[in-house]
Structure 1
């Protein structure tokens, strides 16, 4: 698989060490699962991943704030993205880091725009009649991030991008299954309307009083099943990534899939309980993700119809001439980092258990 290596002369260099440190702090606070998986990335990829995630986190937080004008917040984000794309980012670490990432990795405008379009759908309070409609939303808020991460790792192959977008959709389905009650209490409902109808659930009545029921359990279980199918479809795409990047992406997918298992262990109760994966369990998953895997078949399967526009945007985006890729990363070094991370996570869990409540 050829790896795209950017020409340094085309790269925006406005983001400094302090900006990258701020982005790293944002990801550590915003997503413990993503941060843990990112520890397996080689440093050259990890710094770009932090910059990309920091803007995603900033965008999500800006439009999620209650009590403010969310439409105005989104409009400001649109302007900030436009400035970053033009190489004139706003005076904020996430903006400067994003501008560098977009230029360094030749990321087409359609991908970050898709992310903000998904946020716009949230602001509208859009509901989704079918699983396909929900997948279209997930393609924007998560599939686009998967595509951008693939470009950050230097891969522009259409099949690999299709699998990455599908992995993003799977992760978003898992998030939705886990957060049904939390979303409902803020007036949001993502579960497909036709599934709710088949389960005898009225969407408006559920939002007014979110309650666990056998019908809701079936809907959550079906959404987790759909996610599991997409996790399996994503595996061949992970094998198409540079060897140095596979453990981190496999770890991210495995940890999110395990969240689905935790939902099941909670009796499919996403109303009164929040599924969690312990630090020690994550550490074990990270360790297994670093082990070599047999290449899976199915890389050339077509993209999900809902994510095809993301793949096409990359395929039609001009890039500088590809240069010779660097050597593969030392996998033994990955394992050492995993073992260090296991120790840190286990110590943190032990501290939490011993701390007074």
Structure 2
């Protein structure tokens, strides 16, 4: 997406949502909650595209700043709403979506725009995961109808589990654009002294450097499962499906390992179907 001056939801974002594996988890929701989730997804896709595009950083910062103004307008009384944002505004008011969570997502995207992240320390990585993943989870939990405390707790753990899985899955794609999200501390323990992404990925100790991230993701998945077990079944059907699918990706990454050459690990379609049958038809 080009950093346009009007931060409208791109036409292809909603289409992508409705045609993706995301749709498989969301289509089991009642229509109002499902539509709210598509609006949340479209917002996230739009700001993520700004963060990942190859355009000048000032233009991308401007595009994210426009999104901040647009989000503010949805919470301001009497402020005219752009037609492209009406659906998101309806979701905000129907489910009490919090402005600070939308702003946190934008903050996370700004971290990628400010500079190409390379081997952040653990605290910075955790902040990044909270902003780009757990904040999305907090918005989603409200759309799912979860109790606030349990929803925020689930967002904390499942959001981090999904993001850490993404980091391990996308090592090569991120390196191609100059990014590396593996923590600096883990690289040091593994004996990797460089932080240049391609050099790290070519190091024979990469597997040792990835192991702690893999372990953290597993721990977050386990805690997310415990939280969902305490919640009303209907309120966690969609996150259970997402957790099942992403845990399968994490398992495949562990089985494949991180030595060169690394084959791309994709979403197992049969796992999506099994998760829908297990959680979606009750």
Alignment TM class, shorter chain as reference: 0.7 to 0.9
Scaled by the length of structure 1, the TM-score of the pair is 0.68
On the 8 A contact 1:174/1:256 being kept in 2, the answer is yes
Q: Does the 8 A contact of 1:210 with 1:271 survive in 2?
A: no
What is the deviation of 1:237?
A: 2.5
Match of 2:278, SS? helix
Residue 57 (str. 1) matches residue 48 (str. 2): no
Higher helix share: 2
Match of 1:84 among 53, 74, 79: 74
Is 2:188 the partner of 1:200? no
Q: Residue 268 of structure 1: SS of its match in structure 2?
A: coil
Partner of 1:278: 268
Check whether the contact 1:27–1:53 (CA below 8 A) recurs between aligned residues: yes
**Cα distance in 2 for residues equivalent to 1:157 and 1:236:** 16
For structure 1, the residue ranges without an aligned partner over 5 or more in a row are 1-18, 291-333, 336-357
User: Aligned Cα RMSD in Å?
Assistant: 2.4
- Partner of 1:258 in structure 2? 248
Cα distance in 2 for residues equivalent to 1:71 and 1:53: 20
Partner of 1:296: none
Map residues 111-150 of structure 1 onto 2, 5 A cutoff.
111-125=101-115, 126-127=117-118, 129-150=120-141
Q: 1:251 to 1:80 in 2, by over 3 A?
A: same
Contact between 1:181 and 1:271, CA under 8 Å: does it hold in 2? no
Say yes or no: does 1:41 pair with 2:37. Answer: no
Q: Give the TM-score of the pair, scaled to structure 2.
A: 0.85
- Of the candidates 230, 234, 239, which is equivalent to residue 224 of structure 2? 234
In 2, Cα distance between equivalents of 1:50 and 1:269: 37
On the 8 A contact 1:27/1:50 being kept in 2, the answer is yes
Q: Which runs of 5+ in 2 are unaligned?
A: 1-8
Q: Distance in 1 between matches of 2:230 and 2:14?
A: 26
Identify the structure with bigger relative contact order (alpha carbons < 8 Å, sequence gap 6+): 1
Greater gyration radius: 1
The CA deviation at 1:63 is 2.6
